């Protein structure tokens, strides 16, 4: 998976996280080979398991292939041609605009869009419809970083590159489980540590994540205490003389006020340690390391941004770098790591409701003049639009009467997601552009538009370090799928704006975007007509490319001005100085109480992405974590009357879910973690968004995904079970179920509150086995255990295991049975027992890249005396690709020989 593709391939970009890895795709004899692009500067040929499994997501299964219309939400759809569908969109939205004004319509878009799609959407909505009611799911992950950057720097600037991570002497990861969420960046850090053992890694996270396992210091802070922690660091740096007075005096403002606030609230280290829930010696170590390391990076992600105080958290981090002058220098700076592949590209073109294209602001009259003049638009939005959460609240209240959702699944991903579902059900017109026919949002659409997917799209994306890369098509779109920008242009044409949206290809849109970034991009000059707005975002040097030049475009970091040698300032406030921003520690808006005594934290798991519309198609990616879970501290589980693998309900003021309990050892007492990915296609009751506190940061509008007060209680079920089947099954009648994709099978985890009567009859009917089927089963009526297997020739067609107890047979060996063509030598009695022949059970998957299980790794460690992860890789390949499983491998080694584990 790491090696360079020996034959020519299409060089494109991975569609997952904000790392922006380059990939090479080669099609041959009906197979698709995806490998890392060795020439791409983000990943140098490496890919994580999600990127390596992209070939499994390209099939037509589940694709939305043709435009469709339904008369009302929930009614059957009927296929129509594109002209009919777009006429309907234009007519419906046009009628609302005429009768209620432009602010009665809205667009909700996505960091999955390419920059060209994003640009056209914002040009149409803000410049021709005349509303700023277009927001993005990137609001949910990085808008606090944007707000913090703009307060500090005067523009949304990320002043760090990936090379800086490798040059730093200290890397601090805050609210970022990089080993799982950005594994290629994590591996770059790990390899840098191997080359320079003096390099230190600090992880600040309430959970002891896989990333924390590799840290020199882990600070399990109390949720919501980040501002206190970094204000304490700022006060410590000032008190101990670790400041850069020259830099502060020449390049910043606000230091005096900011330091006064920090000393007032966080000047006493004991107060900080107590407030953050940390041992004093651990706090002192962090402060001492940061003070002494001139080359220090503080990289932060969702754990910082997704908060009602997210913007203050961002600025409290930036303040420490400004006070010490550790910014715009090699190996130093604050670094926002984005979650989506084109969150940065969306920011470039004004993807948020409070922005204009080219890093200009809606509430700045000079900026509006620049943009309207460039677009030659009849009207331009004059005030910020509704942000994601309030946008759907406006839909629920009837103020938004038509909404167009593009490339995202808000019924799963937004907080208070049940409110979103009700809002869409009431909305007069819902348009959904997507690649798949099966999401939780699609049933509410009146008009469905088939979009192009990764592999079919043509355009650009920008990663976390401001690097623009091409996303190139390499397969023909199925059915009648079309680019999102094309659908928007066709609606614009129907509204009479065709001359301004007459693009024939993505290269023309990119060229216009690049020219706009340079247009008016200068300091206002006396006597020069028109306003100026000096901006760091400048792609003037990329303007004017022909189609072949655009096709051949190589990855490049902006700014790329048309003329070189210009003196580009460090910061972009009017006076050219950065701002230290006073921040005051404050508790989350909703606190725990007697009814809801625990704090819910949400986030990603290692091998899944967003709401699984893409990763759910790749069986390999379900091998490591196949079902949703509720991770609790053992004491909290005991207090709730729960044990590992029990089913439990998590309930908040806003909603509920049911999942299996896990006690991983990662959680602080009083805290709960539930992953974000599962939806109605993969689980009966696992949409964590339905529970999430909808309060938002007042500056950024980003929701509080990391702090929702909840209760956790047992779910009493009459029986537990699981089934494997080569055919899809319908478990909808059951109280609880999870579907886990596998290679040549689907696995279903099952439970119900009603006792099982006649389990054999139920199982045969549900699995679809007729009276002539080669069926064997076993039932113990006294214990309530039932097991059955259905054979077709020498291969297993389906099997089911039911029990009143949760401790059912291990699943992995049974899953392996479905990948084998001939099971003739397998004892049918052994199969019913669920016990693998000696040595044949690899155990739960640890390394998904190479399909290596826990039992296999443990046996190799034990029998061969392996004492470090490198030895395991040399023996089994496990850990040798993306490295996200290395912390788990290290833990398995420690379990065998704790004293021998390599650091």
Write the pLDDT tens digit of every residue in 17-32.
999 999 999 988 878 8
Band the pLDDT of 527: cuts 50, 70, 90.
low
Rounded to whole angstroms, the Cα distance separating 873 from 877 reads 4
Q: Which two tokens stand for residue 531?
A: 């306003």
Whether 833 has a pLDDT exceeding 60, the answer reads: yes
Whether 186 shows a pLDDT value over 60: the answer reads yes
Over the chain, what is the mean pLDDT? 93
Nearest Cα to Cα of residue 610 among 112, 3, 219: 112
Q: Per-residue pLDDT tens for 659-718?
A: 999 999 999 999 999 999 999 999 999 999 999 999 999 999 999 999 999 999 999 999
Encoded tokens for 518: 């340079």
Reply yes or no on whether the pLDDT at 792 is more than 80. Answer: yes
pLDDT digits 0-9 by tens, 735-791? 999 999 999 999 999 999 999 989 999 999 999 999 889 999 999 989 999 999 998
The rounded radius of gyration (Å) of the Cα atoms in the chain is 27
* 837 pLDDT above the threshold of 90: no
Q: Please tell me the predicted confidence (pLDDT) of residue 123.
A: 98
Residues 765 and 38: their CA atoms lie apart, in Å, by 52
- The percent of residues in the chain predicted with pLDDT above 70, rounded, is 96
The answer for residues whose C-beta is within 8 angstroms of residue 113's C-beta and 6 or more apart is 121, 342, 346, 406, 407, 484
Reported as a pLDDT band with limits 50, 70 and 90, residue 841 is confident
**Contact indicator for 893, 901 with CB cutoff of 8 Å:** yes
Q: pLDDT tens digit string along 145-179?
A: 999 999 999 999 999 999 999 999 999 999 999 99
Quick one: pLDDT at residue 836?
Answer: 76
Task: Tell me the percentage of the chain whose pLDDT exceeds 90.
Answer: 85
Q: pLDDT class for 120, splitting at 50, 70, 90?
A: very high
Q: How much is the average pLDDT of 346-368?
A: 96
Domains of the chain: residue spans and CATH: 10-57 (3.30.200.210), 68-140+343-497 (3.40.50.740), 143-336 (3.40.228.10), 598-714 (2.40.40.20), 719-833 (no CATH), 845-900 (1.10.10.1100)
* pLDDT greater than 70 at residue 900: no
Whether residue 842 has pLDDT greater than 60: yes
Given this model, what pLDDT does residue 5 score? 39
For the cut 50, the answer to whether the pLDDT of residue 589 exceeds it is yes
Banded pLDDT at 903 (limits 50, 70, 90): very low
- Alpha-carbon span 353 to 381, nearest angstrom: 10
pLDDT for position 643? 95
Task: With beta carbons less than 8 A apart as the criterion, state whether 87 and 76 touch.
Answer: no
392 against 30, higher pLDDT: 392
pLDDT at 526: 63
Q: How far apart are CA 134 and CA 142, in angstroms?
A: 16
Mean pLDDT across the stretch 362-369? 95
**pLDDT for 73:** 67
Q: What is the pLDDT of residue 208?
A: 96
pLDDT at 4 over 50: no
* Contact predicate 73/444, CB 8 Å: yes
In the predicted structure, residue 292 carries a pLDDT above the cut 50: yes
Q: Would the pLDDT of 828 be above 80?
A: no
Angle in degrees, 0-180, between the axes of helices 115-124 and 506-518, rounded to the nearest 10? 70
Mean pLDDT of 581-608: 93
Q: Is 629 helix (H, G, I), strand (E, B) or coil?
A: strand
Helices (H), 101-182: 115-124, 143-153, 162-167, 178-181
Whether 446 contacts 431, CB under 8 Å: yes
Q: 533-582 pLDDT, tens per residue? A: 899 999 999 999 999 999 999 999 999 999 876 667 899 999 999 999 99
- What CA–CA distance (Å, rounded) separates 84 from 69? 9
Query: In terms of Cα–Cα distance, which of 885, 722, 727, 719 is closest to 179?
Result: 885
How many helices (DSSP H) and strands (DSSP E) are in the chain? 30, 36
Measured between alpha carbons, how far is 708 from 704 in angstroms, rounded to an integer? Answer: 7
Helix 269-276 crosses helix 226-239 at what angle (to 10 degrees)? 160
Q: Which of 356, 334, 337 is nearest to 346 (CA)?
A: 356
Is 794's pLDDT higher than 90? no
Q: How far apart, in whole angstroms, are the C-alpha atoms of residue 449 and residue 431?
A: 8
Mean pLDDT across 317-332: 98
Mean of the pLDDT values across residues 75-91?
A: 96
Tell me the helix, strand and coil percentages in the chain, rounded to 5. Answer: 35, 20, 45
CB 66 within 8 A of CB 480: yes
Please say whether the dihedral angle defined by the alpha carbons of residues 846, 850, 855 and 856, taken in this order, is positive or negative. Answer: negative
DSSP code for 225:
-
pLDDT score of 529 = 54
Residue-wise pLDDT tens digits, 796-827:
899 999 999 998 988 888 888 888 777 666 66
pLDDT of residue 522: 84
CA distance 662 to 637: 9
Place 72 in a pLDDT band, splitting at 50, 70 and 90: confident
pTM of the model as a whole: 0.95
Alpha-carbon dihedral sign for residues 259, 263, 265, 271 = positive
């Amino acid at each position: 998976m790491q090696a360079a593709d020996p034959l020519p391939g299409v060089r494109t970009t991975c569609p997952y996280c904000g790392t922006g890895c380059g990939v090479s795709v080669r099609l041959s004899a009906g197979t698709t080979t995806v490998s890392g692009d060795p020439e791409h500067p983000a990943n140098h040929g490496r890919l994580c398991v999600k990127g390596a499994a992209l070939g499994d997501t390209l099939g037509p299964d589940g694709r939305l292939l043709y435009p469709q219309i339904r008369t009302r939400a929930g009614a059957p759809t009927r296929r129509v041609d594109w002209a009919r569908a777009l006429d309907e969109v234009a007519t419906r939205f046009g009628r609302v605009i005429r009768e209620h004004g432009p602010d009665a319509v809205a667009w909700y878009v996505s960091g999955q869009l390419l920059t060209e799609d994003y640009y056209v959407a914002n040009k149409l909505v803000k410049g021709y419809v005349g509303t700023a009611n277009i927001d993005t799911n990137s609001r949910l992950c990085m808008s606090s970083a944007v707000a913090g950057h703009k307060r500090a720097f005067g523009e949304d600037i990320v002043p760090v590159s990936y090379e800086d991570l490798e040059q730093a002497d200290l890397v601090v990861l805050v609210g970022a489980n990089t080993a799982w969420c950005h594994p290629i960046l994590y591996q770059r850090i790990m390899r840098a540590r191997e080359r320079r053992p003096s390099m230190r890694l600090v992880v600040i996270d309430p959970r002891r994540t896989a990333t924390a396992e590799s840290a020199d210091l882990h600070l399990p802070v109390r949720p919501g205490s980040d501002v206190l922690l970094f204000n304490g660091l700022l006060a410590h740096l000032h008190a101990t003389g670790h400041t850069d007075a020259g830099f502060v005096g020449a390049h910043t403002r606000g230091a005096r006020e900011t330091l006064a606030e920090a000393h007032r609230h966080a000047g006493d280290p004991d107060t900080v340690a107590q407030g953050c829930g940390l041992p004093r010696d651990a706090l002192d170590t962090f402060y001492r390391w940061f003070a002494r390391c001139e080359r220090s990076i503080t990289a932060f992600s969702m754990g910082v941004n997704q908060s009602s105080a997210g913007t203050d958290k961002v600025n409290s981090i930036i303040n420490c770098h400004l006070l010490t002058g550790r910014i715009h220098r090699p190996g130093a700076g604050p670094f926002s790591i984005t979650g989506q592949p084109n969150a940065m590209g969306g920011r470039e073109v004004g993807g948020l409701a409070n922005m204009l294209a080219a890093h200009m602001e809606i509430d700045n009259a000079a900026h509006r003049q620049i943009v309207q003049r460039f677009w030659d638009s009849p009207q331009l939005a004059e005030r910020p639009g509704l942000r994601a959460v309030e946008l759907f609240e406006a839909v629920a209240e009837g103020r938004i009467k038509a909404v167009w959702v593009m490339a995202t699944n808000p019924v799963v991903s937004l907080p208070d997601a049940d409110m979103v579902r009700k809002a869409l059900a009431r909305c007069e017109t819902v348009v959904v552009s997507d690649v798949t026919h099966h999401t939780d949002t699609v049933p509410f659409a009146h008009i469905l538009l088939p979009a192009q997917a990764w592999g079919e799209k043509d355009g650009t994306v920008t990663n976390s370090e401001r690097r623009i890369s091409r996303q190139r098509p390499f397969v023909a779109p199925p059915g009648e799928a079309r680019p999102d920008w094309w659908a928007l242009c066709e609606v614009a044409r129907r509204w009479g704006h065709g001359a301004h949206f007459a693009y024939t290809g993505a290269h023309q849109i990119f060229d216009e975007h690049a020219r706009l970034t340079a247009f008016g991009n200068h300091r206002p000059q006396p006597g020069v007509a028109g306003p100026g707005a000096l901006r760091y975002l400048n792609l003037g040097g990329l303007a004017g490319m022909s189609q072949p030049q655009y096709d051949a475009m190589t990855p490049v970091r902006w700014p790329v001005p048309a003329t070189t040698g210009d003196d580009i300032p460090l910061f972009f406030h009017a006076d050219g100085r950065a701002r230290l921003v006073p921040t005051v520690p404050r508790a989350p808006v909703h606190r725990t109480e007697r009814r809801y005594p625990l704090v819910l934290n949400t986030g990603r798991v290692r091998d899944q992405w967003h709401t699984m519309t893409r990763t759910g198609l790749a069986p390999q990616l379900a091998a490591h974590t196949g079902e949703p879970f509720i991770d609790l501290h053992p004491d909290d589980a005991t207090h709730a009357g729960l044990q590992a693998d029990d089913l439990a309900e998590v309930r908040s003021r806003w909603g509920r879910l049911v999942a299996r309990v896990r006690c991983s050892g990662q959680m602080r007492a009083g805290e709960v973690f539930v992953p974000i990915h599962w939806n109605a296609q993969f689980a009966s009751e696992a949409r964590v968004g339905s529970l999430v506190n909808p309060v938002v940061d007042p500056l950024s509008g980003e929701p509080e995904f990391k702090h929702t007060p909840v209760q956790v209680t047992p779910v009493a079920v009459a029986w537990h079970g699981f089934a494997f089947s080569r055919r899809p099954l319908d478990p909808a009648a059951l109280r609880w179920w999870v579907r886990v994709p596998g290679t040549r099978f689907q696995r279903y985890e099952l439970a119900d509150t009603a006792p099982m009567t006649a389990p054999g009859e139920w199982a045969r009917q549900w699995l679809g086995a007729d009276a002539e089927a080669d069926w064997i089963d076993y039932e113990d009526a006294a214990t309530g255990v039932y097991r059955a297997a259905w054979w077709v020739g020498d291969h297993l067609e389906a099997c089911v295991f039911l029990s009143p107890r949760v401790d059912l047979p291990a699943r992995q060996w049974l899953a392996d049975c479905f990948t084998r063509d001939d099971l003739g030598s397998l004892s049918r009695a052994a199969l019913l027992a669920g016990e693998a022949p000696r040595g044949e059970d690899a155990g739960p998957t640890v390394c998904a890249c190479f399909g290596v299980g826990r039992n296999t790794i443990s046996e190799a460690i034990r029998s061969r005396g392996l004492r470090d992860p490198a030895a395991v890789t040399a023996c089994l390949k496990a850990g040798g690709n993306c490295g996200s499983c290395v912390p788990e491998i290290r833990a398995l080694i420690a379990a065998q020989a704790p004293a021998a584990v390599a650091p």
